[in-house]
Amino acid sequence: MTALPDVVKAEQSLGSRIAGVLGGTLVRIFLIVIGLFWLLPSFGLLMSSLRDREDINSSGWWTVFTAPSQLTFSNYDALLSNDALMDSLVTTLLITVPSTLLVVVIGSLAAYAFAWMDFPGRDWCFLAVVALLVVPVQVALIPISSLFDNLGIYQSLFSVILFHTAFGLPFAVFLLRNFFAEIPRELLEAARLDGASEVRLFTRVVMPLGGPAIAALGIFQFLWVWNDFLVAFIFADPGSPPTTVAIQQQARQFDNNIDVIASGAFISLIIPLVVFFAFQRQFVSGVMAGAVK
Amino acid sequence: MRSTGNARKRVRTAAAAAAVLSLALGAAGCGDDDSGGGGNGKGGGQEETVKLPKLDGQSIQVAGTWTGPEQKSFKVVLDEFSKRTGAEVKFVPTGDNVAGFVGTKQAGGAPPDVVFAPQVGVLQEFVEKGWAKPVNSAVQKELKQNFVQGWQDLGAVDGKQYGVYYKAANKSLVWYNTNAFEQAGVQEPKTWDDFIKTAQTISDSGVAPVSVGGADGWTLTDWFENIYLSQAGPEKYDQLAKHEIKWTDPSVKDALTTLGELFGEDSLMLGGKNTALKTPFPDSITKAFTPPDAPKAAMVFEGDFVASFIGDTKAEVGKDAKLFPFPAVGNESPVVSGGDAAVILKDNKASQAFLTFLASPDAAKIWAERGGFASPNKNLKISTYPNDVQKTIAEALIQAGNDFRFDMSDQAPAAFGGTKGAGEWKALQDFLKDPKDVAGAQKQLETDAAKAYK
Amino acid sequence: MTSAVKPSGKPAKSVMGTRRWVAMLFLLPAAVLLLAIVAYPIIYSIIRSFFDQSGDSFVAFDNFQALFTDEDNLTAIKNNVIWVIVAPSVCTALGLIFAVLTERVSFGAAFKMVIFMPMAISMLAAGVIFSLVYQQDPERGVANAVVTGIHDTFSESSAWPGARPRPNDDVLAGPQKGPYTTKDTVSAGSPALLPLVAVKPQDLETAKPATEPKAASGGGISGTVWVDFKPGGGGKLGAIDSGEKALKGIKVEAVKDGKTVASATTGDDGTFTLPKEADGAKLALPASNFGEKYNGVDWLGPSLITPAIIASYVWMWAGFAMVLIAAGLASIPRELLEAARVDGANELQVFRRVTVPLLAPVLVVVLVTLMINVLKIFDLVWVISPGANLKDANVLAVQLYLLGFGTDTDQGMASAIAVVLLLLVIPVMIVNIRRLRRETRR
């Protein structure tokens, strides 16, 4: 009566252990296969970018395994002398950096006001901002292009930056307001008692304490703007577009100059990847905060 | 607006061709007398046939679609103008959408002084909107001297001259793989019947004779236009382009029947009609030249811009890839053309002088020597061109005299001649699907045309 | 935008005596931008959607009606529905599987990084990546290389794809792609010469020269199958000239009254011998000799293009689902799972009965977030679709662009699409606001 269940139990655990080991191996193999499968497309792009265009047009990138002599940096050399693409990298920076900074600064200001200042209609205003979180950018394309046209800034750097900043704000305000609200009241009061002005309070206490959230927001906005195609496609100056649009222009222009496109695309994704690996934690926390446009 | 995305793309592609063509040929070392590697325009000792005013201290902006090496070539032309007149010239790239570019700049009150319109429709649009300014008598004199009436007329609206066609495209060329021709033991055909016979022999040799990029409807309209122009003649061509005769006209029937001799025979097209319908234009070229010595197909038809696509393969233009004029269906080989016309947007002394310069053989010569360029200027010597391929392209253009015609589908309303999956593009794709149904295709074309030409 | 709205903390009272104008000053820049660039377009679009193409005359709901009748718009709507249903669920399902499986694997973190990485890449670059993957030619596109590779291991390819008799040949005739049959019957004593053409020169590099058939003994039939095309041209039709190559491995059947009475296969020199039963029969070369090579799947053709682009989206966004779900998993109390195990539930049951219900809120958040994201999909479709098939892959955002900025613009219609997009996100907007107000009232 007492022994029997024990035996059964032992058998069960043995059986499940074997199953567990087998299953574990299977799971590992499955995951490795999936992982490789996931890497395959990007790897294909990398390999394609390292072959010259005659090779790309005559065979697949996997032939590099049998004929590694195909590999060459000539596309990247050509890229360096391709003014259109090199200029576009600068343009991308000129759009991305200001848009990120503006969102962080303007967003923090508003978020601080929502979190710690008292004014009539505060809650309603904040609700409105939250409502704007889900507005698709597409809705704004036509009205804003004609608005900007009337202002004479359509298809300029400025118009892209303004658009990105505006559409980054709802999320920025939402994220930062929640973060700032968590700052211990005593800290702010103490500073206030020391005679700090509202501005000083903001720059010396709130901003430093908000570091992690601001970092997450900054990374997120940076990647979003860097990777944007549609907004730049419509609002950027077609004469000096950012990288995503420049690559697209190359594609439509020559149709099959995949050598330029592949190497250009690869360069364009290096920066986001570096940012991603360097600030992985912040990026993930940005994503976790629901930041997905 | 007449210009369409695709027509623009075509022009754009044509533009891209130039440099690659000249590069490919330069690399091939075609053994021409011009020993200057890369052809860096030997501006110094140019003979001057045209007198230009002194314009020191003035500056103009010139806008065009050209990018990359093409832009470089054009900048040499600009430099020569600066050197002769003392005026400063700045080149501004317009991007694909020239009309859009000019529209925005015009709205902002700062249009470029001169812009290159890549199509007749765009030029006419500029005139209609009052943006374009007529040329002065010096330009007109130069035009009369150097251009046949046809090219002059294309730059005129309501009897007033606005445009100078500086650069022309030739869209009546058949490019072929020399290795495939050699293997099959065939020669360049001169007439359509020869062409079909040659194709049959090539097919027997184990290589598909013609690669058709039927996924892009405009390649099919170009097939039709070439056959029609050669078979029915320029007058009928003009009438059909203006829809003064109907698509149910017997002349259309004849042209489609002729085209059916190719489209109806699966063994004459790479993979038969089903593959042709799925093949995008760039792929149709790659297939004829990859690998150069054992291609899937032997011939591909389209304009001079095919050269840039051949540049993307391992084939060498001039050695593996050569061309012959579109075979004559009627008495003469057709010449379907296109071109970039310079138009003045700001009327001043410098921009008028610039157009005078562009209309002269001097300006044409600079780019012609560099390759990847054909000029409609009849006084430019054919020997100026750096190689045989370029010479063939330019010679056909000049020899056509007034009988060349602009692309018919570009002249048609966009809904008919320039829209994916609609109008002429779609009707001809349906015809490729079922080449026996000539009457059905005609009916469809006429229905669509009647709707669009309103 | 978000659906994972998790407001925390009550809005605090002002830190002592902030003056109102200071608050206004802090809010001003954000307010101006939000009102001018995010809020104003909503109103503009709604109004504009009730006007016609030129914007001059009021057409009430005509644009919306056209939206659901015009063929292009309908395709866009249909595809958008497919996108919104398929892409988020596949991403979430994969994310769930990956999150659960990686929990107890040593290299889980590395795996997660690999899956998550595509999220950092622009949709444009992803589009470029996948247009390479989907290239039609199996020698260039990896997807078709794999498909044809698998196909060819399971089915044998024919010996001489595409070979055929000359048109109007004297000897052989038959429908396209075979079988090709002799016009006349064969008889013992007179060898059969069966000429074919249209064989790729490179396929013939190792072929032997064709030889004249030797007379067969015992009343049999002999013959040669060869390529009757002399490289470089020339040569006599129907005769074996020097330089013409033999076709080996071709199956030759002797057919009498529709029945195959004998068959043989050609040797290296192209010759074959049939037994005497074949006397008086017609010779047939079955179609199996000439079948064309399998060329892979038409990924970006009209029928598969939307699923193919969705796959590229899944590649990008499965990592997003995985990370969120993994975080959700980590917050499930271990004790609950252990308790279930102790109660005798196996792993699958634990997963289905305990894990999934506990994860439900996270799964919903992931699904809804992805749905909103997918609703606006533009870049991938724009970049991957070959021009000719853009209409088949069309989605609302692309259609909006084409109508708003393309060649035949109709801003009234485009605005109507914008309004529809907006209507579709309003439920999420309301849920977000409700949740926030609940939190703040607490």
Q: pLDDT-based confidence at A287, cuts 50/70/90? A: low
Query: Touching check for B12 and chain A: CB below 8 Å?
Result: yes
Instruction: Tell me the count of B-C CB pairs closer than 8 A.
Output: 75
Tokens of B442: 């005609």
Pair (C375, C433) in one structural domain = yes
**In this structure, are B320 and B360 located in the same domain?**
no
Between A184-188, B51-55, B145-149, the lowest mean confidence (pLDDT) is in: A184-188
A:C CB pairs within 8 Å = 325
Angle at C315 between CA C309 and CA C321, to 5 degrees: 120
* Tokens encoding C35: 């009102």
Is C180 at the interface with chain B, CB within 8 A?
no
Indicate if B293 and B440 belong to the same structural domain: yes
Q: What is the pLDDT of residues B68-114, one digit of tens each?
A: 678 888 999 999 999 999 999 988 877 666 777 787 777 667 789 99
Q: Using an 8 Å Cβ cutoff, are C5 and A178 in contact?
A: no
pLDDT digits (tens, 9 = 90+) for B251-292: 999 999 999 999 999 889 998 888 888 888 888 898 899 888
> Does the pLDDT value for residue A15 go beyond 90?
no
Chain-chain contact of B312 with A53 (C-beta, under 8 angstroms): yes
Residue B16 has pLDDT above 90, yes or no: no
Contact C195, C226 (CB under 8 A): yes
**pLDDT score at B22:** 47
Q: What strands lie across the sheet with B173-177, from one edge to the other?
A: B208-211, B297-302, B173-177, B321-325
- Domains of chain A, by residue range, sit at 3-75, 82-288
Say if residue B48's pLDDT is above 60.
yes
Chain B residues closer than 8 Å to C232 by CB: 182-185
Query: Would you say residue B37 lies in a domain?
Result: no
Average pLDDT, chain B: 85
Residue C420, domain extent: 48-135+300-441
- Do C111 and C209 lie in one domain? The reply is no
Chain C hits for B215, Cβ within 8 Å? 386, 388
Would you say C7 and C439 are in contact if contact means Cβ atoms under 8 Å apart? yes
Q: Which class for A239: exposed (0-12), middle (13-18), buried (19 or more C-beta within 10 A)?
A: middle
Q: Are residues B20 and B106 in the same domain?
A: yes
Q: A77 to chain C, minimum CA–CA distance in Å?
A: 20
Looking at the domain assignment, is residue B43 inside a domain?
no
Asked if pLDDT for residue C52 goes beyond 60, the answer is: yes
Q: Do C38 and A170 touch (CB under 8 A)?
A: yes
C325 and C270 share a domain? no
Domain count across chain C: 2
Residues of chain C neighbouring A126 (CB-CB closer than 8 A): 11, 436
Question: Do B214 and B147 belong together in one domain?
Answer: no
Q: Are strands C192-196 and C221-227 parallel, antiparallel or unpaired?
A: parallel
Q: Is the Cβ–Cβ distance between C112 and C383 less than 8 Å?
A: no
Residue B313 touches partner A, C-beta closer than 8 Å:
yes
User: B205 and B317: one domain?
Assistant: yes
Q: Tell me what pLDDT residue B420 has.
A: 67
> Which residues are CB-contacts of B6 (< 8 A; sequence separation ≥ 6)?
B216, B218, B418, B419, B420, C387
* Residue B342 confidence (pLDDT) above 70: yes
Q: Is residue C8 part of a domain?
A: no
A8 burial (CB, 10 Å; 0-12 / 13-18 / 19+) is exposed
User: Is C71 found in the same domain as C194?
Assistant: no
Both B99 and B112 in one domain: the answer is: yes
Residue C2 resides in a domain: no
The lowest-confidence range among A204-218, B88-102, C8-22, C85-99 is: C8-22
Q: Within an 8 Å CB–CB cutoff, is residue C345 touching chain B?
A: no
Residues C306, C211 share a domain:
no
d(CA B64, CA B87): 19
Q: Is C1 within a domain?
A: no
| Amino acid present at B424 | E
Residue bearing the bigger pLDDT, B438 or C341: B438
The Cα B448–Cα B412 span in angstroms is 11
* For residue B326, pLDDT beyond 70: yes
Task: Flag whether the ipTM exceeds 0.90.
Answer: no
Residues C105 and C223 in one domain: no
Q: Tokens 């001489």 appear where? A: C160
Same domain for C313 and C263, yes or no, is: no
Report the candidate in A85, A17, A120 with the shortest Cα–Cα distance to residue A241. A85
> Looking up tokens 């720059």, which residue turns up?
A203
In this prediction, residue B140 carries a pLDDT of 94
From CA C263, how far away is CA C253, in angstroms rounded?
Answer: 4
Per-residue pLDDT, A253: 45
Q: C347-357, pLDDT tens digit by residue?
A: 777 778 888 88
C218 shares a domain with C88: no
Best mutation site among B205, B207, B275 for testing chain C: the one with the most C CBs within 10 Å? B205
Nearest CA-CA partner of B393 in B306, B314, B312, B313: B306
C143-173: per-residue pLDDT in tens? 888 888 888 887 777 778 888 888 888 888 8
Average pLDDT value for residue range C86-109: 88
Considering only residues C90 and C303, tell me which one the structure prediction assigns the higher pLDDT.
C90
Residue B223 sits in the same domain as residue B279: yes
Q: Give the model's pLDDT for residue A5.
A: 44
Same domain for C55 and C75: yes
Stronger pLDDT, A254 or A138, i.e. the higher one: A138
pLDDT band at C2 (very low <50, low <70, confident <90, very high): very low
The mean-pLDDT minimum among A65-69, B86-90, B205-209, B351-355 falls in A65-69
Query: Domain check: are B276 and B208 in the same one?
Result: yes
Name the band, by pLDDT with cuts 50, 70 and 90, for residue B36. Answer: very low
What is the domain count for chain B? 2
Whether B6 shows a pLDDT value over 70: the answer reads no
- Whether residue B33 has pLDDT greater than 50: no
Which range has highest mean pLDDT (A237-246, B388-397, C299-308)? B388-397
Fold of the CATH domain A82-288: MetI-like fold (1.10.3720)
For residue B216, give its domain range.
173-334+412-452
Same-domain pairing of C329 and C374: yes
Q: In the predicted model, what is the mean pLDDT of residues C388-392?
A: 74
Q: Inspect the interface and report whether the beta carbons of A142 and C415 lie closer than 8 Å.
A: yes
A27 pLDDT above the threshold of 80? yes
How far is residue C63's CA from residue C201's CA, in Å, rounded to a whole number? 59
- Kindly give the interhelix angle for A3-49 and C123-133, rounded to the nearest 10 degrees: 90
End of a domain among C255, C289, C323? C289
Of B37 and A135, more confident: A135
Nearest-CA neighbor of B193 among B217, B227, B165? B227
Of B20, B333, B27, the residue nearest B174 (C-alpha): B333
Question: Which residues of chain A are within 8 Å of residue C30 when distances are taken between CB atoms?
Answer: 106-107, 109-110, 169, 173
CB-CB under 8 Å, A127 with C436: yes
* Residue B38 covered by a domain: no
List all residues of chain B from 273 to 292 with a beta carbon under 8 Å from chain A.
280-283, 286, 290-291
The structure tokens 């020993």 sit at: B35
Instruction: Give domain status of residue C127, yes or no.
Output: yes
What is the secondary structure of A23-64 as a DSSP string?
HHHHHHHHHHHHHHHHHHHHHHHHHHHTS-HHHHHHS-GGGG
**Does the pLDDT at position B187 exceed 70?**
yes
Q: State yes or no: pLDDT of B351 exceeds 90.
A: yes
Rounded mean pLDDT, A80-99: 86
Least confident range of A187-196, B302-311, B432-441: A187-196
Chain B residues within 8 A of A256 when measuring between CB atoms: 282-283, 286, 309, 312
* Same domain flag for B198 and B284: yes
Instruction: Identify the CA nearest to C407 among candidates B3, B255, B134.
Output: B3
Query: Which residues 246-305 of C have a C-beta within 8 angstroms of B?
Result: 298, 301
Q: Which of C162-166, C175-179, C274-278 is predicted least confidently? A: C175-179
pLDDT, averaged across chain A: 80
CB B253 within 8 A of CB B230: no
Percentage of residues of chain B with pLDDT beyond 90: 56
- Say what the pLDDT of residue B393 is: 92
Note the pLDDT of residue B324: 95
Average pLDDT on A150-178 reads 87
Task: Say what the pLDDT of residue C427 is.
Answer: 86
| pLDDT for position B101 | 76
pLDDT in tens, B164-179: 999 998 999 999 999 9
Q: Which residues of C touch A34 (CB under 8 A)?
A: 98, 111, 115
* Any domain includes B273: yes
Best to test chain A binding among C54, C80, C107, C129 (most A CBs inside 10 Å): C129
Do B302 and B183 have their domain in common?
yes
Give me the pLDDT at residue B194, please: 95
CATH of the domain at C357: 1.10.3720.10
Residues C284 and C306 in one domain: no
Residue B399 located in a structural domain:
yes
Residue B123's CATH number: 3.40.190.10
**Residues C271, C319 share a domain:** no
Q: State how far the Cα of B112 lies from the Cα of B91, in Å rounded to an integer.
A: 9
**Does position B300 have pLDDT exceeding 50, yes or no?**
yes
Residue B35 lies in a domain: no
In-domain check, residue B42: no
Residues B330 and B344 reside in one and the same domain: no
pLDDT of residue B395: 92
Q: How confident is the model at residue B35 (pLDDT cuts 50, 70, 90)?
A: very low
pLDDT recorded at residue C349: 79
B355-380 as b/e, with b when 16 or more CB fall inside 10 Å? Answer: bbbbbbbbbbbbbbbbbbbbbbbeeb
How many other C-beta atoms can be found within 10 angstroms of the C-beta atom of residue B41?
20
Name the average pLDDT for chain C.
83
Q: Are residues B181 and B323 in the same domain?
A: yes
Tell whether B286 is covered by a domain: yes
- How does pLDDT run across C187-242, given as a tens digit for each residue? 887 888 899 888 888 888 888 888 888 877 777 888 899 988 888 877 788 888 88
Chains sharing 3 or more CB pairs under 8 A with chain A? B, C
Alpha helices in B108-174 (DSSP H): 120-128, 137-146, 149-154
Judge whether residue B336 has pLDDT over 90. Answer: yes
Q: Residue C407's pLDDT band (boundaries 50, 70, 90)?
A: low
| B191: pLDDT strictly greater than 90 | yes
Give the per-residue pLDDT at C162. Answer: 82
